[in-house]
Amino acid sequence: MSNIIQQLINGIILGSVYALLALGYTMVYGIIKLINFAHGDVYMLGAYFGYFFIQVLHLNFFIALVLSMAVSALLGMLIEFVAYRPLRHSPRIAVLISALGVSFLLENGMSYFYGSDKKAFPQAIRTIQYHIGSLQISNIQLLIISTAITLMILLTIIVQKTKMGRAMRAVSADQEAAILMGIDVNRTISFTFAIGSALAAAGGVLIGLYYNNIDPLMGMTPGIKAFVAAVLGGIGLIPGAALGGWLIGILETMTQAIGLSDYKDAVVYAILIIILLFKPTGILGKNKREKV
């Protein structure tokens, strides 16, 4: 039983990072019905920004985390402005191809400038292990889950209580009606990309600290798993993204615990196929009829 509880804790820690990534997918999809496949690479860039601020500029970890989120937010806005806004009224396949192009550009660009080898992420916080009976948890794990929960709460407050949050909900519900109400749709969409990119960057910095290494392709697999998490929970729904992230994290760690580490990715992708076949709206999603 203690081993199961330990794996649940590990799964929640990993799932917290997936949840931060999934929130970016679900917010962008909720606003403009776009699957931003470059989102995982923003997560990777966030980790590299954190590496630069800590290793080169010798900044405090928490300052580096906030700065990485800020720079990644600006990068997300730039990506939306350059790669997605000109194609907003184009066929969806064009936007999808553009997203894939941005993804390859970021990966190969980072490989060109920093090399394709793994880099050791600076251990800006000394690891301390806490023992509760037979259970074990580190201060880094506690930092990951507390930061993820704090950011999710802040996101909920922004969406539910602020003027920009109301604009985001209005654009999500009916973009044309939002324009008639005087809402600046371009600014709202740009803000959505900024928030999603900042959350992804936070996940990248935290996972770099946790695993102690980063590389230009580190965003590929987590990005896809976060997309699966968003679909599982109900894409377009913020609570669904959080729920899906934690479920995927728990599923992955449990798969490793029973000795099937080589199949942990396959299990996640199998979940995607199953959810698309039997409940494509996700766990928290509701079926909606579209008017023709």
Q: pTM for the whole thing?
A: 0.90
Residue 286, in any domain of the structure: no
The pLDDT of 182-202, averaged and rounded, is 93
Closest Cα to residue 199, out of 79, 69, 77, 71? 69
Residue 65, in any domain of the structure: yes
Using alpha carbons, list the distances in angstroms from residue 106 to 101, 251, 274, 290: 9, 29, 31, 36
The upper half-sphere exposure of residue 256, i.e. CA atoms within 13 Å in the direction of its Cβ, equals 13
Under 8 Å between Cβ of 247 and 232: yes
Residue 110, in any domain of the structure: yes
Q: So what's the pLDDT on residue 148?
A: 92
SS (H, E, C) 52-74: HHHHHCCCCHHHHHHHHHHHHHH
Q: So what's the pLDDT on residue 291?
A: 42
The pLDDT of 185-206, averaged and rounded, is 93
The pLDDT of 246-270, averaged and rounded, is 85
Q: So what's the pLDDT on residue 19?
A: 92
State yes or no: pLDDT of 287 exceeds 70. Answer: no
Residue partners of 198: CB distance under 8 A and separation at least 6: 69, 70, 72, 73, 76
Residue partners of 155: CB distance under 8 A and separation at least 6: 23, 195, 199, 238
Rounded distance, CA 239 to CA 106, Å? Answer: 29
SS3 236: coil
Residue 93, in any domain of the structure: yes
- pLDDT bin (cut points 50, 70, 90) of residue 132 is confident
Residue 168, in any domain of the structure: yes
Domain with 204, as residue range(s), is: 2-20+36-218
The upper half-sphere exposure of residue 229, i.e. CA atoms within 13 Å in the direction of its Cβ, equals 34
* CA 157 to chain CA mean position, Å: 18
Q: So what's the pLDDT on residue 278?
A: 85
Tokens of 165: 């949050």
Residue 191, in any domain of the structure: yes
Q: So what's the pLDDT on residue 292?
A: 39
Residue 289, in any domain of the structure: no
State yes or no: pLDDT of 125 exceeds 50. Answer: yes
Rounded distance, CA 275 to CA 261, Å? Answer: 22
SS3 281: coil
Q: Would you give the DSSP letter of residue 122?
A: P
Residues listed for the chain? 292
User: pLDDT tens digit string along 20-60?
Assistant: 999 988 888 888 888 888 999 999 999 999 999 999 999 99
Residue 88, in any domain of the structure: yes
Q: Would you give the DSSP letter of residue 83?
A: I
User: pLDDT tens digit string along 210-228?
Assistant: 988 899 999 988 888 998 8
Average pLDDT of the residues of the chain: 88
Q: So what's the pLDDT on residue 286?
A: 65
State yes or no: pLDDT of 288 exceeds 80. Answer: no
SS3 120: strand
Cα angle: 201, vertex 206, 207; to 5 degrees: 100
Dihedral angle sign, alpha carbons of residues 46, 51, 56, 61: positive
Number of independent structural domains in the chain: 1
Q: So what's the pLDDT on residue 277?
A: 87
Q: So what's the pLDDT on residue 80?
A: 92
User: pLDDT tens digit string along 79-92?
Assistant: 999 999 998 888 88
Using alpha carbons, list the distances in angstroms from residue 32 to 80, 159, 212, 267, 271: 11, 16, 36, 29, 25
